[in-house]
Amino acid sequence: MGNTREIITKAVVAKGRKNTTSNHTIRPNHAPSSILGAWIINHAYKAEKVGKTVEVSGHYDINCWYSCNDNTKTDVATDRVEYKDVIKLKYKDDKTIADKEVNVQVLQQPNCVEAVISPNGNKLVVTVEREFLVELIGETKVVVRLSDEDFEDDDWDLDIDDEEFEELNPDFLVDGEEE
């Protein structure tokens, strides 16, 4: 161990990524004639490590604006959707000391891909996609080799060259007030 040192540090020890597409059926108050727009709001989530996976649990609201009564009136149908995405982890380092910290990055916020009226004509079917990237932060051991050479500050040659003095603008400094 004379020429090496072991350093305990935090590092990304596992990663996972998952893209999910799901269909949600919304029962509106009136039979829809056409869909005018659909959007997702109020997305919230949390993540937790479970075994060799990370579970991302969350919810969002789907708002679907539609016309009814033969396109003479409009209404908005709203539905809260809860989900749980289980994301498998790929480990780079199986010798972690502790891996308790989970970082989650939303690569694609829940987004409406398609909204259609169901074949029987009384429901709205909304297709939503979302994507997450998770990283597991753990303590791991890094072994570094020590150099046999001694470095001193003189080795860096941090002196100022004459060329650098020539580049200085002598008019940069302004004289004090004239008397």
Tokens of 32: 């829809």
Does 164 score more than 80 pLDDT? no
Residue appearing with tokens 């080795």: 155
Spatial separation of the C-alpha atoms in residues 54 and 19, rounded to whole Å: 14
| Helix or strand run (H / E) with residue 4 | strand 4-26
Question: What tens digit of pLDDT does each residue of 36-58 get?
Answer: 999 999 999 999 999 889 999 99
pTM over 0.75? The answer is: no
Over residues 78-89, the mean pLDDT reads 96
Instruction: Tell me if 91 sits within 8 A of 56, measured CB to CB.
Output: no
Is residue 57 classed exposed, middle or buried when 0-12, 13-18 and 19+ CB atoms within 10 A define those classes? middle
Question: What tens digit of pLDDT does each residue of 62-76 get?
Answer: 999 999 999 999 999
Does 179 score more than 50 pLDDT? no
